[in-house]
Structure 1
């Protein structure tokens, strides 16, 4: 969606500017014909989104767990359908029975706060990422965000190789959605999430940490500072966490589980 707007400066100057808006629509996630959640997201890379979201929710662990993808645009938004196999089917039934609503960035719909205390899968022991690789990835990501460049309102998540080379990028209006899409795309492509690092343009909330750890990542880099819970979850899981990543500096928040 694009339109022309009037930009008014402090000295009273008025000029017409052309702006493009980032798409944000309701996307209903359906697994095995059961409505699971409605997410506000950008309607792109929806198959990756369905898989990555399922991994984050504990319904899937690998790409073959989901098949028969179908994205349908309806008057109110989109419906993303997929068939779920494996142990996730039982979890799906249980969560659908208990869930009233779920938000992508909060605790809405979580009936039991003990869910937050469940341990994350331990991160695989891993080596250090050189700071130069992080700076290289930051520089490379700027050129690979078409939606972000045109709207200045979209988040991105990228998978970077150990040397900082960007291997995959996914964008979305929501920072959590971008990570889900990246995880889904990486699993579908057979990429190794644990060999390099995930780079997120978002604030480092605990959800971002949990999504990275559950997907098998070993190192997470974000451009903004973490919350206290994000730090705690990263340390408990053994995830290496860098934050406040800039072109000339980066903050090491947690040195994760080291390989021998």
Structure 2
């Protein structure tokens, strides 16, 4: 069995930088100010030399992104199918050369699609309904997490969002283990990318998923449900409301789906309440 990919000694870019700006005012503008803004880079991902996608992502945790992107899209079924990751490039243009097992490469070519590099990308580039609505394995039903795990959750996740606190403009995905402890978080300009990075980090660190839950700060739509199902995470908590189709898929696939509104009690959408 191949060993898990080690971090590449490639470029370690900054996730943010300081920029100057002027205030728009009726009177003459004063001295310029500075603020920290989130950065983004274009990453071209190739598998066994075959170009697959170009994505706009935040430049941190790129190895996690590549692993989670591969798992979340179903191109590999296990991190053990990734043999090597080589990152290269400078500035806004980066490359990720990924070596994967022959069986995984065959599957990738069978379902190959080109995904445009947009930070808001969801199902861009999908050419058939079968790709947008794939057949995914159902999870084994699991109990809902204790209600006290979600108390003050919005405040508790903030320390795991350093880039968002400094710059804004980014989404976060986080993981809570089976003891209700927040373990790690990942941030990105793209909500899908943030979840990919989290899934990749969990896989690379060999974290047990049973009994744990993922938390996303963004809108919860179908493609996030699909990524969590493929990863085998049994509960998803969203700080923003889910779409109707996301709820339908969560119920059909036995995924616990909880929305945590700002001023109301947690809302359990899946499993469906049956009086």
- State yes or no: 1:253 paired with 2:269: yes
User: CA 1:214 to 1:11, structure 2 compared with 1: closer, same or farther past 3 Å?
Assistant: farther
In structure 1, distance between residues paired with 2:99 and 2:254: 32
In structure 1, distance between residues paired with 2:189 and 2:207: 24
Q: Aligned runs of 1:237-252 on 2, under 5 Å? A: 237-246=253-262, 249-252=265-268
Partner residue of 1:58 out of 69, 74, 80: 74
Superposition deviation, residue 50 in structure 1: 0.9
Superposition deviation, residue 112 in structure 1: 1.1
Superposition deviation, residue 213 in structure 1: 0.9
User: CA 1:217 to 1:86, structure 2 compared with 1: closer, same or farther past 3 Å?
Assistant: farther
1:185-229 CA distances to partner (integer Å, 9 max, x unpaired)? 101111122321001111001111111111000000011111111
Partner of 1:217: 233
Partner residue of 1:191 out of 192, 207, 230: 207
Superposition deviation, residue 18 in structure 1: 2.7
In structure 2, distance between residues paired with 1:255 and 1:12: 59
TM-score scaled by length of structure 2: 0.84
Superposition deviation, residue 139 in structure 1: 2.7
User: CA 1:40 to 1:57, structure 2 compared with 1: closer, same or farther past 3 Å?
Assistant: same
User: CA 1:10 to 1:167, structure 2 compared with 1: closer, same or farther past 3 Å?
Assistant: farther
User: CA 1:166 to 1:3, structure 2 compared with 1: closer, same or farther past 3 Å?
Assistant: same
In structure 2, distance between residues paired with 1:197 and 1:12: 52
Superposition deviation, residue 119 in structure 1: 2.4
Alpha-carbon RMSD across the aligned residues, in angstroms, is: 2.5
> What stretches of structure 1 move > 6 A for 4+ residues in a row?
9-15
SS of 1:198 mapped into structure 2: strand
Superposition deviation, residue 28 in structure 1: 0.7
Q: Aligned runs of 1:25-174 on 2, under 5 Å? A: 25-74=41-90, 77-85=93-101, 87-96=103-112, 99-102=113-116, 105-174=121-190
Contact preservation (8 Å) 1:135, 1:247: no
Partner of 1:202: 218
Superposition deviation, residue 82 in structure 1: 1.4
Contact preservation (8 Å) 2:126, 2:132: no
Gaps of 5+ in 2: 1-16
Gaps of 5+ in 1: none
